[in-house]
Structures are given as structure tokens and as C-alpha cells.
A and B are shown apart, each in its own frame.
Chain A
């Protein structure tokens, strides 16, 4: 019974809209479809700026400028990418229609730490993080309120027939 209740609560945490968190108030007026442009400087093995925030529905333009070797920029979840030759720049434009937090990363092997050349794009607010923390709270409340009735210490070695 208690677990059904917790399950329902978990479903609420998972799917309920988070109006207060879905965008900062001052951004609300320009929420739909404004244009956001960033110039990102790429060098071994970091982007700068490495954290981008846009609103859901924005048209995002990223001008990638490579300072040393060929670098790419691939956005997880959106599956779009661009690459810039050394000293050159290249432009990527896409519509940020999926809310959430996404890693962007270099997709052209550029040296040792290449697999970890990573930045972060947040579209709208990072709802999934808040929901996940909500799940965590529910989980520990459930566990603190309903201690296990049959502790695992009762576990026995299997019976032997020798």
C-alpha cells in the first residue's frame, strides 16, 4: 500500500510540469524562438565559454573558432555538429526545441584528452536534475518511513544434503 503511494508520488515527480523552474521570470517574455548567438573558442582540450544557457525554442547559432588544431563540436541529444580548422571558424545553427541539459563535445580526434573535451548546453531549465533529486528524496523518505520488515540478515546458507 505504502509503496503504491510512493510509486504515485514518483510518477508525479517524473511527469508533473515544473512551472516555477521551467524558465527564469525575466526570460519568459522572450521565450519562444528568439535567436541566441555564441562564439566559442576551442583549444586543446576545452571550450570557452563551456557552459551555454538558452531558452527552449531558441535558434542557437554557435560560431566555433579553433585556436590550435582541428576541433569539432557535437551536441549530444541533438545529434548536430560542426568542425573548425586551425585558426578558422565555422558556424552551427539549430533550433533548441528539446529542453534539458546536454553535453557538447569534440568529435574530431584532437589529442590525448580529446574524449573529455566537453561543454554543457542547458536548454530551458535542467528539469531532469530536479526530478532526479525529487526521486532521491522520495526514495529515502520511503526507506526511513518503512523499514524493511524481513531483514536480509535472516538469509541462510542453502540447506545441505551431505
Chain B
């Protein structure tokens, strides 16, 4: 169903003002979160930066925005804005043709999501500190803002979003499961289109800031839903569609950077569930005391699980012998690698649901801090809305376990279905992938329940 057929929605998306209004609110909130982190109370659960970023924003992102709107968050994210405005030399006015800054192309070797994989892992290894220490959160938020500005000065378009943002990597990965997509209506129109203004820009708007040619879109991963192409396309050929969930995974991509992203996210969800929500104090100590011997062991184990244990088992299960079944059919080594990468795509729905199940527990337990932090964002004893003294109380504890089971079992079924399709494309059996998914799901159930 084409949402952009709705005239009201279409003009709201085409106009720059509604988007700008949201941008400004987000940017103000973001800057406030940085300041709160830096000058507010060091007690995380009473500081706006921790409570609104890691409980509020995180809950909305992983429970609503990503599953239902894909890269919807990126459409309103404040992080790249100052850089983008500087790069354009404008906030609202139409582009003028001269690039204001260096406007370089990102080197080919970086045009993949390995840097995002690394930036995510760097944050993940320090996450116990990041999640609980306001000034670290403030510093990281500020660092992302300034890195984005810096990269906008050096490179063209949104280099930070495309290649570095630690959040953007997994939003892109999981956005493929969302029931929403931006696509072209008619390939023929694009083929005949002069100058491809959706990519190169025109007087109506900027060329795709995400360095995507909308005419070639087959998956959501790299389209930031910024709506520029809706504005620039002279042939009205851009549509925002409602579609079945996970439609992008029907044609799995075979890129190793994306395959490893799937393992990174799956593994991190399990590790977080064990370390943060588990009863093992020694693990928490190791994760929190960054720089200690125990932390190095923890970090090594973290990386080993993500880069060796999970993908290694997967590889062994789908191709038990060195010359695997995928390779047997088409005897190049590349075919085996492609089959590995394509099959790893089946882990995407499961990974998303792992994060949902983990986050449900974390968010429902700590949601009541939001009310207190709303009235006293800096932890200075204010009481703006009279809610500062609302006591901590977990909410909806009785539905937590059933909801977690539902997400995990649902994710398992969803991934198993996806595996059946990917396996068909790769000409291998889906059974090992399904069994793999079952094993990790059972483990996650044990960790969470």
C-alpha cells in the first residue's frame, strides 16, 4: 500500500517545516542530554541523560521505531544535523551548487559497515560504564555530534551516518524487517530520467544525503528516510509503501560486513542479558571495571563469542565439511562465503527479537525513573512537574515473562521462515540454520527467564 497516496501525509513529508520542527525539538533534547550528563548529578538513575537516552530513547527505538518504522529514527535524528547544515551552508533554503567544504568521496575501503561494526563494539565493551555514568554518556553524545560535524566538513553527504554511526549500523540491519519502505514506483521512469536529481540534487532539494540512488533501492538498510528524494524527483516516482514485515530478507544480501553485523547484534544481546540482567556479580564487576584484568578477560570473551563462537558454530553447522554443500553445487570458494553471508541474514529477525526481549525487562523495570527524571532532570532537587519523588517501581512485571517468551519464540519462528527462503536461494538445507536458531533461542530463554 502506498502511503504517499495520502495527500496530507505526502505534503507533510514533502514540506521541510514539519521535519524541521521535529529536528529542532530533537536537537534541543540532545544538547540538553549532553549538558545534563556533564553537569547533572553523577547518579545515573536520576540524571536526564541516562534516563532519557538509555531508558526512554532506547525503549522507543528498539520496541517501536525499528520494528515498525525501520530507519524512522534516522529521519528525525539530531546527530547529523549541525554537520549537514554547515555542509550545505543552509538550514532550509534550496541548495546552491558550489560545495562549501572539501566534499571528498569516502575512500572505497571504508564504504561498508565494518567501521560501524567496530564503533558499535567499542561502545558495547564499555557499555556497563556508558549506561550508568552520566558524564560518560554526555561525552559520547557530544563526541558523536562533533565527529558528525567533522566528517561533514571533509566528506560529501552523510559520511558519519553511512559509515561510522554505531547506532546506524544496527538500525539499518534491522530496518529490513520493518513493514515500511521507500522505493520508486516505476523503473522505466528512472531509466529515462535526465540528470537523476534524486541522487544529484536540484532546486527542490539535495541529492540523496545517504549516498543512495533511490532508483536502485532493494532494501531499507541504507536509506535514511530523509525524504529528500520525495522532494527532488520531478516525476513523482518516489513512494513510501506499507509492505509485509521483513520483505527485504526475501532477497538476502551476501555481504560479509552485514553478515557479521547480524552476529554482533545477536551475540551482544545475549551477553547483555547475561551480564546486566543475570545474577552473576563477578561478571558485572568485570564489565564495569574497565581497564582491570578481569575487564580484559571479559572483553576478550565478548569478542571471541561474537567473532569466533557464534559465526564459527554457524559455519560448521551449515557446512559440516570443508567443502560444504553450497560449495559442492557451485564449486568456487566464493559460493560458500556467499551462502554463509546469505544464510546469516536469517538471524536478523531473531536478533531483533532478542533485543526486544532484553529491552522489555530492562525498560519495564526502570521506566519509573522517567517520571522522576522529568521533574528533576539534573538531579538537583528540582520538582518541575511534581513527579520528582515518584518511587522506583517496576511496571507490568506480571506480563514480562510471557512477553519475553512471545518475542523470542516469535523471533525464532520468523527467523526459521526466513532461513527456509534464504536456504532455497543458496541451494542448501535450512534445517541446520533452524536448529542453530533454536539453540541460541533456548540459551536466551534460559538467560532471561
Q: Which residues of A contact B366 (CB under 8 A)?
A: 115
Residues from 90 to 143 in B contacting A, C-beta threshold 8 Å: 128-129, 132-133
Does residue B413 face the partner (Cβ distance < 8 Å to A)? yes
| B21 interface residue (CB < 8 Å to A) | no
Whether B420 pairs with A147 at a CB distance below 8 angstroms is: yes
Task: Give the shortest distance, in Å, between B294 (CB) and chain A (any CB).
Answer: 13
Contact of A157 with B by CB under 8 A: yes
Inter-chain CA distance A115–B132, complex, in Å, is: 8
A133 with B398: CB separation less than 8 A: no
With a cutoff of 8 Å between Cβ atoms, the chain B residues found around residue A143 in the complex are 413, 416-417, 420, 434
State which size class the interface on A falls in. 35 or more
> Does A31 make an interface contact (CB < 8 A)?
no
Known contacts A118-B277, A126-B449; is-contact A140 B241 (Cβ 8 Å):
no
**A162 with B237: in contact, given A112-B288, A115-B365, A132-B449 (CB under 8 Å)?**
yes
Residues of B within 8 A of A155 (CB): 243-244, 247, 250
- The residue in chain B whose Cβ has the minimal distance to the Cβ of A100 is B401
CB-CB contacts below 8 Å: A132-162 with B: 132-133, 135-137, 139-140, 142-144, 147-148, 151-153, 155, 157-158, 160, 162
For residue B44, CB closer than 8 A to chain A, the reply is: yes
Do A105 and B365 touch across chains, with their CB atoms under 8 A apart? yes
B residues near A152, Cβ cutoff 8 Å: 244, 246-247, 250, 421
From residue B3, how far is it (CB to closest CB) to chain A in Å?
10
A142 to B44, CA, bound (A): 45
Cα distance A100–B404 in the bound complex, in angstroms? 15
Docked-complex contact A77 and B397, CB < 8 angstroms: yes
Residue contact A140 to B277, C-beta cutoff 8 Å: no
CB-based nearest A residue for B402: A128
A109 touches B46 (CB 8 A): yes
8 Å CB interface, A101-128 against B? 101, 103, 105, 107, 109, 112-120, 126, 128
Q: How far is the CA of A135 from the CA of B244 in the complex (A)?
A: 24
Q: Which of A103, A112, A118, A148 has the most CB of B within 10 A?
A: A112
Q: Does A68 contact B (CB under 8 A)?
A: no
Instruction: Specify which of A100, A132, A139, A162 is in contact with B445 (CB 8 Å cutoff).
Output: A132
The answer to whether A139 touches B442 (Cβ under 8 A) is no
Contact B281 A46 (CB under 8 A): yes
- Is A51 a contact of B279 with CB atoms below 8 Å? yes
A42 — nearest CB in chain B belongs to which residue? B281
The answer on a CB contact under 8 Å between B445 and A158 is: no
The contact string, 1 if C-beta is below 8 Å from chain A, for chain B 274-318, is 011111111011001000000000000000000000000000000
Chain B residues contacting A153 (CB-CB under 8 Å) are 250-251, 421
Complex interface: chain A residues within 8 A of B45 (CB): 109, 114-115
Which A residues lie within 8 Å of B285 (CB)?
A: 45-46
Q: Are the C-beta atoms of B236 and A151 separated by less than 8 Å?
A: no
B398:A136 contact, CB within 8 angstroms: no
Bound state CA distance, A51 and B186, in angstroms? 60
Interface of chain A residues 50 through 88 with chain B (CB within 8 A): 50-51, 74, 76-77, 79
Q: Tell me whether B413 and A140 are in contact (CB under 8 A).
A: yes
Interchain CA distance A142-B417 in the complex, whole Å: 10
Q: A140-B412, A153-B421 are in contact. Are A162 and B186 (CB under 8 A)?
A: yes
Contact of A157 among B241, B400, B416 (CB under 8 A): B241
Q: A136-B441, A151-B424 are in contact. List 20 more A-B contacts (CB 8 A).
A: A47-B279, A47-B281, A51-B279, A101-B449, A112-B133, A115-B362, A116-B284, A128-B405, A132-B408, A136-B442, A140-B416, A147-B420, A151-B250, A152-B244, A153-B251, A157-B183, A158-B1, A158-B239, A162-B185, A162-B235
18 contacts between A and B (CB under 8 A): A79-B397, A100-B401, A115-B362, A115-B366, A118-B278, A119-B279, A120-B278, A132-B449, A136-B409, A136-B441, A140-B416, A140-B434, A143-B417, A144-B434, A151-B250, A155-B250, A157-B241, A160-B186
